[in-house]
Structure 1
Amino acid sequence: MLLQNTPAMAHTRANERGDTAVAANLHRLLNPTSIAFIGGRSIASALQRSREFGFKGDIWLVNPTHAEIDGERCYARVEDLPRAPDATFIAVPSTAAIGVVRELAARGAGGAVVYASGFSETGAEGAALQASLLEAAGDMAMLGPNCYGLLNGLDGSALWPVAHGTARVERGVAVITQSGNLAYNLSMSARGLPFAYLASVGNQAQVDVARLVNAFVDDERVRAIGMHIEGLKDVSAFSEAATRALARGVPIVALKSGVSELGAQLALSHTSSLAGADSLYDALFQRLGVIRARDPVELVETLKLLSIAGVPRRSTLAALATSGGDAGLVADLAEAQNIAFPAVSERGRATLQGVLPPYANIANPLDFTTTPWGRPDAMRTCCDALLSEQPGAAAMILDYPKEETGERPQCDIAADAFAASARAHGVPAALISVFPELTPPEHALRMAAAGVAPLQGLREGIAALGAAMWYGKTREARLAEDRLSSLPVLRVPGLAASDAPGRLLDEWASKRLLAGYGLDVPEAVCVSPAVAPAAAQRLGFPVCVKVVSEHLPHKTEAGAVALRLDSPEAVARAVTRMTESVARYAPEVVVERILVERMASPPLMELIVGVKRDASFGLALVLGSGGVLVELIRDTATLLLPASEQDVRAALLGLKLGPLLTGYRGSAPADLDAVVRNVMAIARFAQDHAQTLLELDVNPLLVSKDGAVAVDALVRLAS
């Protein structure tokens, strides 16, 4: 069969060609052989910083009014440059930046950093300017606007407006941030994080987080990716990029701001990013194996561990400390991270008894006392005794005193013995200081060169270990489940504002639609009020009766529901009462149809299953404790679509009421398979109606030991 070309197909092919061109130009921007700086007198110092950083390519200045700045030749126009630059730093006002970008694109430049603000973050007028800027860029890769710049520690390019504190590296982490000031502060951090790249993306007019993740995943010198985001421009594109990163074993660590209501408002005003509901970001990150950091320090320490030591093989830790107090703190903090400590084997115990005093408590974590202190062989024996037991990772807790104490050589002996043991046994290892300031920079560099991550701060260090272990476990599970192809979230089209109210289907219509997808619903009929008693007689008692109307979504409040009716007379009286109650509650609603249902048996528990539509995330499946508990305990889990049966089962068991599903304290277990089957029916319906589904609510789904049944359902579709 021959497919006929259509305008839509031609547009898609054009977009694909454009994406390919932008990706190629982004590579030029990230790894340039030539750089141009365009702006006022300050650009000469920016040029000098690139030279000091060790950039070996050509560097040019462009300024229309100066023949030279600080002894550096200036070209009057972009077209005067010897050739099209791979990368350009544009430091001119917002309106002028549009013309400069247009000239660069016409010349065939690779990419540009637009430093100026005053675009979409300022409102409608700025958004129009940003649209013009994007049009001017064409296929040229563009970072910003309203961004700080780009540092490449691998090759020495610095498209950066001010000084920075990063060092040249052979490999390391790529960090993406929407905040220019955070980018600057990260560059000045004295925590020894090896920056392969540091990119500030600002408004993400063209090059967004997803494009950069894709580019960094393709660079074998990048060991891990960090990102600070206020909102994702394209959640589906990010999920595809993060899936590639997971497949290739490049961990991503995310710091998401805008968690609080006020934080979300600030994110919108800061870089025009719409910060979605935080639960949706949690669901996205869990799905994709993205580690979530709570603050910038945790972000840095986790990236440091992943880039220097790597990913632990399992969630177990061998820990050594210089005191019993430190060992106890490690045990307490590790418990919150679900880190286990394997017991010391009999062989290890015998080895340690040979070097430690009789009063030593031989355990893991190990307080190795002061006996082996300053003795290289004894320290190596202690480390080998624990690290040879095949732990997932190893940690030594070690604070360096001030240099004038004269005790640093003993610390070096302990650290070197630990590093040698970790290297010999192939164990990812970290040396952690209890207090961040007690890690001297020179010691941190020496440990990093030995493959041991120098982590600063006990809580942050243990959190980094727990996060790395979670990533390793999650990635292994995704690969074992062969889930990678289904991890990217469902692409759902945006709807017009006029579609927002949508069309609410009544309970009868909603249940019929969902039952067609396999949802278990009670045996029922929909009849006129006069026929309801006879219909109930045919169904068999007890029954419930409800008023059916798309204009009456909250039937309980309207008095439009009657339960546990056991005779035709009871049904007739109930219909009369409901009709009168609805007339008082909603006079505009005419009672013309009655839903008569067989009463379900008393359940073990009630669940709510819903689907909500989000402008950024598409369709999200929400599972939780149902009935009156929905608002009381707010026990819910969120999954993005498409969702697998494994996802649904794990989410259900992770609820606070999850233990009731498997039988709590001798109670009968629920039919978990039936619950999962019904949830998957709802998920299939949602995916098939992704074009028009606005929301869906099944509350409650009654769960018993031999089945599950949906006794109420509402579906809202776009008009």
Structure 2
Amino acid sequence: MKPFADLSRFIYPVNVAVVGASARPSSQGGRLYENLVRHSRIRGKVYAVNPAYCEIGDAPCWPSIRELPDGDIDVALVIVNAARVLDTLRQCAERKIPYAIVMSSGFSEAGDAGRALENEIAQLCRDTGLHVYGPNCPGFVNVRDRIGMTFSPAFRHDLNAGCIGLATQGGGLGRNLLQGLSHGQGVGLWFSAGNEVDLEIPDFIACMARDPQIKVIGLLMEGVKDGRRLTAALDLARECGKPVVVLKIGHSEAGVRAAQSHTASIAGSAAINSAVFRQFGAIEVDDLDQLLAVTRLLAMGAPKAGSGLCIYTFSGGTAALATDIAGMANLPMAAFSDQTHATLKSLLPDFANIANPVDTTADILRDQDAANDCLRVICNDPHVGAVLFPIPMDYGDVTDGIAQSIIDVSRATATPIVPVWMSRRMGGGFQLLEQHGLQPFMSVSTAIAALSRIWPSAGMQPSSAPTSEDAEHGSSASEGPDPARQQLSEAQSKALLKQAGFPLPLSEVAISAPQAARAAARIGFPVVMKVVSSDIVHKTESGGVHLGIDSEAAAAAAFDSICAAVAQAAPAARIEGVLVEAMLPAGGREVLVGVHRDAAFGLVLTFGLGGIFVETLRDVAHRMIPLQRQDARNLLHEIRHTAILEGVRGQPPGDLAALEDLILQVSAFAERHADTLLELEFNPVWLGPVGQGAIALDALIVTSGHQEARAILETDANP
């Protein structure tokens, strides 16, 4: 895996060169140069480069990078015609300039010619060590140090700095987020990635994860270029204690490739993205408003584990509404300490509700000091993780006082106070809260939706991250195997998997009716019989499955019936025989364990309810391979109907320990064969009661070719 770039000289450069600087203020080159010379705090020099000028303003202008005066240059900003970019970058490499920002358009977004030019830039980076940011991007902004390497005319106005880091794959929407954080904690660093020819979103995440001044990282992503590098960066952020909030555009499943197995067809790119974000601790949100809201809340401080929400207001109806919405979002409600309860009782009138939700009634609004004391007491309660303060109406001076109370108390407490301004009349109180960085939500629902994203979950434990060796191995696997797909028959798949040590029923392949009868007798009745054919995926639909066979005569008859039915239903299919297999007892639950290759993240494991429920319920969860024990445990509890596995209506609990073992065995097998395995599916897996195990009843393997299939067989012959 390519290491993350050291961006220290990039985010805080001493000397920069502007290739394409212009004396025309309305041009992009003119605005870029002006942003650096007039509106930025560059410690060293800004060199203008353009053969059309001898000077710009009072400063000299050089014709090329080669002709610049001797001395270190940290970043070259390139805003010239696409045809001139490659030569300019070669000059940067010759001058040992470590970074270049290419803002010019006309690359992969413009067609094949632009894509070829972009490939040449990528090769130049590999050959010389030059790091290129972009192309086709608006630049980079270091808000906190006031460095605007961007042509945006808005740079000089968007300078509210703070502890939030942004990385976006869109310039316009990135600016929207920057302006959405115009009060309170703002943005420290904003990376707008462009086409990511060299420097990519993972490099920016890693940079911000290591930056002591960045507290929260917000991502706006349209695509995932290198899934394994992305997860390594997310894991680094988690190690550094930097929460990552991500909005991934593209939740529609339209266009997802239909695959032979259920595993791939029910996975879908959006589901995989969401599962991987969850696996590596990122908080996924649904829209721009949520991205802003959640990053803002995390900048204030996440609630501590085991704490609950307090709803605090002066309106009984508002308290009931907010509590109802919080309940639907499964947010835990705080239980006050005895001391908090006693203090509130002494401060509030007898008819106030001093349990949670707190309804102070409008009576307290007449006493500013008492209002402050009540709010302060609640914020200091050790069981309160955050206070939601809905303000249902604008009451002029009264709500101005409420706003001031929130501002005063928030300065003296670490507990986040989340105001909600519910009125469409934006009075003075709203303006006060906004200006002091306590940007009010506009509805209780949106506030609670944001809080539910950041509240520590008591259920799921964090997954263990793959090691760097795992990530490197997975990365090479996802670069794309031989496209020639080779699907093994069920019998071939099971023979391979049996050699690898997987739990499977006793079975034999028969090529005649008498042979089927003898095989059934050896295995023991009852048996199930299934057609063996690499050309048939769904055997039941073609008449290729018979269950509950209890005699040799029935086995012989089933053989003939299967061959006749399949020949009629699928005349072109090659029939290689009939699999005779031990039939497991009734009462087991059926689950699916599968693996498929995702274009971004490599091999991904899917777990869920199996058998006939796969496509109807679509109750599945995903993890990127390799999995650790905690990943397997989390998967079992992540599906919606996990209660079925634990035992309902008098059923004994399933053997979940054996199921965890099977999931880890599948993960290890897939990891060993990451270069050649395309799909693996056990569906259904029979899950017996505790102590009876988890046994794969049906198996499918797809590899990248005949030679690879044989290699897997040879590798796993002696597991």
- TM bracket, shorter-chain basis: 0.7 to 0.9
CA distance in 1, matches of 2:470, 2:307: 26
Determine if the alignment matches structure 1 residue 360 to structure 2 residue 349: no
Corresponding residue number in structure 1 for 2:31? 45
Q: CA deviation at 1:572?
A: 1.1
Match of 1:35 in 2: 16
> Which residue is 2:48 aligned to?
61
From 704, 708, 718, the counterpart of 1:718: 704
From 244, 249, 273, the counterpart of 1:252: 244
Q: 1:488 to 1:453 in 2, by over 3 A?
A: farther
Deviation (angstroms), 1:279: 0.8
Deviation at 1:98? 1.9
1: distance between equivalents of 2:505 and 2:300?
A: 58
1:507-565 per-residue CA deviation (whole Å, 9 max, x = no partner) reads 12212322344432111222331311122122221112223233333322332222111
| Residue 159 (str. 1) matches residue 142 (str. 2) | no
Matched with 2:74 is 86
Q: Within 5 A, what are the aligned runs for 1:554-633?
A: 554-589=538-573, 591-633=575-617
1: distance between equivalents of 2:9 and 2:478?
37
- Structure 1 residues 381 and 72 mapped into 2: Cα distance closer, same or farther (>3 Å)? same
Give distance in 2, aligned partners of 1:408 and 1:52: 39
For 2:244 and 2:200, the matched residues in 1 are separated by 15
* 1:511 equivalent in alignment to 2:501: no
- Distance of 1:53 and 1:343 partners within structure 2: 50
Query: What does 1:619-698 align with in structure 2 at a 5 Å threshold?
Result: 619-698=603-682
| Corresponding letter in the other structure for 1:118 | G
Match for 2:180 among 151, 173, 189? 189
Could you tell me whether the CA contact under 8 Å between 1:315 and 1:338 is conserved in 2?
no
**In the superposition, relative to structure 1, how do residues 568 and 657 fare at CA in structure 2: closer, same or farther (>3 Å)?**
same
CA distances 1:399-445 after superposition (whole Å, capped 9, x unpaired) = 59889x44464134421343155x2xx43443443469667565334
Is residue 419 from structure 1 mapped to residue 402 from structure 2 by the alignment? no
Structure-2 residue corresponding to 1:126? 114
Structure-2 separation of matches of 1:230 and 1:285:
14
Instruction: State the alpha-carbon separation in 2 of the partners of residues 54 and 618 from structure 1.
Output: 43
- 2:281 pairs with 1:298: no
Alignment of 1:70-469 (within 5 A): 70-82=57-69, 83-137=71-125, 138-164=128-154, 168=159, 171-189=162-180, 191-192=182-183, 193-261=185-253, 277-310=269-302, 312-373=304-365, 375-397=367-389, 399=391, 405-407=396-398, 409-420=400-411, 423=413, 426-434=414-422, 440=430, 443-446=433-436, 448=437, 457-469=443-455
Over residues 116-170 of structure 1, what are the superposed CA-to-partner deviations in whole Å (9 max), with x where a residue is unaligned? 2221123322210111223344422221111111110121110111222665566
Contiguous gaps of at least 5 residues in structure 2? 258-266, 706-719
Q: Give the deviation of 1:180 after TM superposition.
A: 1.3
Distance in 2 of aligned mates of 1:499 and 1:556: 31
Alpha-carbon separation, structure 2, partners of 1:114 and 1:276 = 34
Q: Which string of whole-angstrom CA distances, capped at 9 and with x for unpartnered residues, describes residues 667-692 of structure 1?
A: 32222222222222222221111111
Distance 2:431 2:131 in 1: 37
User: Which deviates more, 174-183 or 128-137?
Assistant: 128-137
Alpha-carbon distance in structure 1 between the residues aligned to 2:614 and 2:376: 53
1:291–1:471 CA contact under 8 A, matched in 2: no
1:493 corresponds to 2:463: no
Range moving further from structure 2, 339-348 or 233-242: 339-348
Are the equivalent residues in 1 in contact too, given 2:77–2:100 (CA < 8 A)?
yes
The two structures, once aligned, show a CA RMSD in angstroms of 3.0
| CA apart distance, 1:88 | 2.8
Instruction: List aligned pairs for 1:514-529, cutoff 5 A.
Output: 514-529=497-512
Contact 1:255–1:299 at 8 Å: present in 2 too? Answer: yes
Shift in alpha-carbon separation, 1:714–1:136, aligned structure 2, 3 A:
closer
1:629/1:482 CA distance change after superposition, 3 Å: closer
Unaligned runs of 5+ in 1: 1-14, 266-274
Aligned residues: 679
For 1:5, the equivalent position in structure 2 comes to: none
Residue-by-residue CA offset, 1:258-289 (whole Å, 9 max, x unaligned): 11246999xxxxxxxxx970111111111111
2 CA distance for matches of 1:590 and 1:473? 49
Q: How far has the Cα of 1:215 moved from its partner?
A: 1.1
Question: Structure 1 CA distance, aligned partners of 2:61 and 2:256?
Answer: 43
Give the secondary structure class of the aligned counterpart of 1:372: helix
Contact 2:170 2:194 in 1 (8 A): yes
Deviations 1:302-359 (A, max 9, x none): 1112223355344512232232233233323333443211233443233222222222
Q: What residue in structure 1 maps to residue 531 of structure 2?
A: 547
Please tell me whether the aligned partners of residues 35 and 151 of structure 2 are also in contact (alpha carbons under 8 angstroms): no
User: Contact between 1:611 and 1:621, CA under 8 Å: does it hold in 2?
Assistant: yes
Shift of 1:394: 2.1
Distance 1:663 1:77, change over 3 A: same
Contact 2:247–2:286 (8 Å) recurs in 1: yes
Q: Answer whether contact 2:410 2:416 (CA < 8 A) is retained.
A: no
Once the two structures are aligned, what percentage of the paired residues are identical? 30
Distance in structure 1 (CA, Å) of the matches to 2:34 and 2:255: 38
Instruction: Supply the distance in 2 between the matched residues of 1:590 and 1:233 (Cα, whole angstroms).
Output: 40
Deviation, 1:238, is 1.2
Give distance in 2, aligned partners of 1:615 and 1:484.
19
Higher mean alpha-carbon deviation, 599-608 vs 281-290, is at: 599-608
Aligned mates of 2:685, 2:345 — CA distance in 1:
60
Greater Cα offset, 157-166 or 249-258: 157-166
SS in structure 2 at match of 1:317: strand
Equivalent residue of 1:220, what SS?
A: coil
* CA pair 336-252 structure 1, distance change in 2 beyond 3 A: farther
Structure 1 residues 262 and 656: alpha-carbon distance in aligned structure 2, compared to 1, 3 A threshold: closer
Q: Distance in 2 between matches of 1:472 and 1:58?
A: 53
In the aligned structure 1, how far is the partner of 2:192 from the partner of 2:458? 28
- Cα distance in structure 2, aligned partners of 1:590 and 1:52: 74
Q: What secondary structure sits across from 2:66 in the alignment?
A: helix
Letter in 2 for 1:163: P
- Secondary structure in 2 matching 1:353: helix
Taking the aligned partners of 2:573 and 2:176, their CA distance within structure 1 comes to 61
How many angstroms does 1:291 deviate by? 0.6
* CA distance, structure 2, for counterparts of residue 345 and residue 379 of structure 1: 19
Given that 1:311 and 1:472 are in contact with CA atoms closer than 8 Å, whether structure 2 keeps it comes out as no
* Mapped partners of 1:484, 1:317: distance in 2: 34
Call closer, same or farther: CA 1:282–1:496 in 2, change over 3 Å. Answer: closer
| Structure 1 Cα separation of the partners of residues 662 and 529 of structure 2 | 23
C-alpha contact 2:535 2:574 (8 A) present in aligned 1: no
TM-score normalised to structure 1 length:
0.87
SS of 2:373's partner is helix
Q: Secondary structure at the match of 2:493?
A: helix
692-701 or 528-537, which moves further after superposition?
528-537
Q: Helix, strand or coil: the match of 1:79?
A: coil
